[in-house]
Structure 1
Amino acid sequence: MAAEHPRITDDGVSFGKSYAVLNLDLMAILIDAVKDTAKGQAFISSCTRWNDAVHKIHPRPPVIFTTLSFSPGEPELAEDAPFGKIIRNFGSFIAGSSAVQIASNFEVDSKDIVLQKTRCYGGTGNSLEQILKARNIDTVIISGLSLSGVVMSTIYRLFDLDYNIYVISDNVLELPLDQHQEYSRVMLGSLLPKMNLRVISVDSALRAVERSLVDCGPVIN
């Protein structure tokens, strides 16, 4: 049986000094939809491991979370638009509700940045691009769900803006879950390499952070 997606071996990757960690839509409503499955539990465990490690770095790189949410009455959504039909399968995404908060599995503190968005792309309706520019970021490390929608939409936009992009293979998940193997094989195994973008395991990401810290001096506590 073919692997779900190719594992890229550690080849000395370093993220450099100007990178940001971008966590796409790790919110309660979506995590609740996958948490009782084997794939979902593996995804949550890997994202938690990565997030916990990043939060121990000093100085910490920008850690950005996005959450999909809408004003009461969802005026941002067209009634019969394709995007609206997709998200309504999951329930309501009203701003301020518990459903759209970052899931409790993941540490979020006052140093982190949480951005509301209204479409797949992580920067729709918020200041993501301004934040990256203001902090002189040149490299973005991506985790999140769903792979074919939110993750790929964000990758394409940041790719067009000339950011170096790394996708952590263990930290992305396709919805519905029964499509994860098929979509990850194509997108992580073929599409991203064709775009000259890097797909790395969470272990490689953690080692890359350590190498990057050598350039800056401090180490993970």
Structure 2
Amino acid sequence: MQNYSDKAALLVMDMQNGIVSRFTENKEALVPVQKALASARENNIPVIFVRVGFSKGYPEINPRNKGFSGISKLGGMTTSDESTQIHKAVKPEADEPIVTKYRVSAFAGSTLELILRSRQIDTLILSGISTSGVVLSTLREAADKDFSLTVLKDACIDADLEVHRVLTEKVFPRQAEVMTVNAWIKTLN
């Protein structure tokens, strides 16, 4: 079982307006994330928010990038755009960093690794939208960087429930502990 010392941080990834809005038909979707946030804060576990956003003019987007090239044509998703702001249901507190990334992984082009090293964090608890996107990419990169990892499976959301199941039951356990938010909370007490 993971030891959640002062060396851990909860990552809340891509919980921004433009992404959360795709899942608003399920009003309960963010409840596990809210519970994880409350428990992390109560237990003095740092919370770091990660969002995807781009500069005006989209200099970070390569036309060959299938995932992001459409954004530069459609507009929006700049760092000042409403769609890139953290959703009000999981609002950051004043001292909680909001890291901007430019690709799928939370580490891609962001200051995340610098913040983690500065705080001597070696354990990451992952939550986010989507399981097959930011969670998968961040987990893989973090594992390669030798972080201890926990995935809060009910605080991760994916449009494809079967992909979510396969990742959390078969793929992620190779590199991380996978548990529900309630099970994780029990490890804190």
Match of 1:114 in 2: 98
Q: Counterparts of 2:128 and 2:63 in 1: how far apart (Å)? A: 26
5 Å-filtered alignment, 1:58-69, equals 60-69=44-53
Pick 1 or 2: higher relative contact order, CA cutoff 8 A, min separation 6. Answer: 1
SS at match of 2:88: coil
Given the two structures, how large is their TM-score scaled by the length of structure 2? 0.91
1:36 to 5, 11, 25: 25
Match of 1:150 in 2: 134
5 Å-filtered alignment, 1:20-99, equals 20-37=9-26, 41-57=27-43, 60-85=44-69, 92-99=76-83
Q: Counterparts of 1:190 and 1:85 in 2: how far apart (Å)? A: 31
Q: Counterparts of 1:89 and 1:183 in 2: how far apart (Å)? A: 29
Given the two structures, how large is their TM-score scaled by the length of structure 1? 0.79
* Contact kept? 1:145, 1:151, Cα under 8 Å: yes
Are 1:130 and 2:114 an aligned pair?
A: yes
Match of 1:209 in 2: 188
* Contact kept? 1:120, 1:153, Cα under 8 Å: yes
Paired residue type of 2:10: V
Paired residue type of 2:86: I
Match of 1:139 in 2: 123
Q: CA RMSD in A?
A: 2.0
SS at match of 1:16: coil
Deviations 1:14-50 (A, max 9, x none): 423310111111101111111113xxx3321111121
SS at match of 2:63: coil
Q: CA deviation at 1:91?
A: 6.7
Give the number of the structure whose alpha-carbon radius of gyration is greater: 1
Q: Counterparts of 1:153 and 1:88 in 2: how far apart (Å)? A: 22
Deviations 1:150-195 (A, max 9, x none): 1111001100011100000100111xx2x1x211221111111233
* Contact kept? 2:101, 2:107, Cα under 8 Å: yes
Deviations 1:66-118 (A, max 9, x none): 11000112121122421215767997211111111100001311210101111
Match of 1:191 in 2: 171
Unaligned runs of 5+ residues in structure 1 are 1-11, 211-221
SS at match of 1:26: coil
Identity among equivalent pairs (%): 25
